[in-house]
Amino acid sequence: MLAFDEKIPSSFLPDLSSRNHPHAWLSVTHVCRHWRETALAFPALWSIVDSDSALAALAFLDRSAASGLSVFLRDAAYGSRYSPSLERARFMQSVAHHSPRFVEMHIQPQFRYGSKILHALQHPAPQLRALSIILSLTKDEPQELPTLFSGITPKL
């Protein structure tokens, strides 16, 4: 119940800047060994990947096995302060590698490297059904979206 309550969006375009503690349900894995093993045995529990914590996001990608993914790409938020977590190219490559499993993706970086994030999304996303992109671009940056997911998003 804790894990899947997060999937209900408050609006069509979620405000990722106010999305606090995206994995609060993880506390159940600290109750006892049985609960931890049970949680680890269900890949769908790990299918919400939030870049607020890059290390946790990579662990969720692994633990989600073949489950469809809801991916939230945003910078790490600490109260009202933000830390650039999406500027790491390796992290973005790791996330992009799983694009065939993307069902939902929301991108809202707080810094001005958002267009670089989009260029990492080159692998097809045949399961993608929802996509939101909110970027702050300077007037010197291209105002058009690049081709995402090699143009292969038949369910979008």
Residue, of 20 and 37, whose pLDDT is higher: 37
C-beta neighbour count of 82 within 10 angstroms: 16
pLDDT tens across 107-128, in order?
A: 888 777 767 788 889 999 999 9
Query: Sorting pLDDT into bands at 50, 70 and 90, what band is 104?
Result: very high
CA distances from 128 to 7, 22, 25, 30, 69 (A): 15, 21, 25, 33, 9
Residue 8 has pLDDT above 50, yes or no: no
Residue 95 has pLDDT above 80, yes or no: yes
**pLDDT reported for residue 10:** 45
Residue 46 has pLDDT above 70, yes or no: yes
Per-residue pLDDT averaged across 84-92, rounded? 78
Per-residue pLDDT averaged across 65-77, rounded? 88
Answer whether 100's CB lies under 8 Å from 128's CB: no
Per-residue pLDDT averaged across 98-102, rounded? 97
**pLDDT reported for residue 87:** 73
Residue 15 has pLDDT above 80, yes or no: no
Weakest mean pLDDT among 29-33, 82-86, 93-97, 142-146 = 82-86
48 backbone dihedrals φ, ψ, rounded to 5° = -100, 110
Residue, of 32 and 81, whose pLDDT is higher: 32
Q: How far apart (Å, rounded) are the C-alpha atoms in residues 152 and 118?
A: 15
Residue 65 has pLDDT above 90, yes or no: yes
pTM > 0.75: yes
Pairing type for strands 130-133 and 102-108 reads parallel
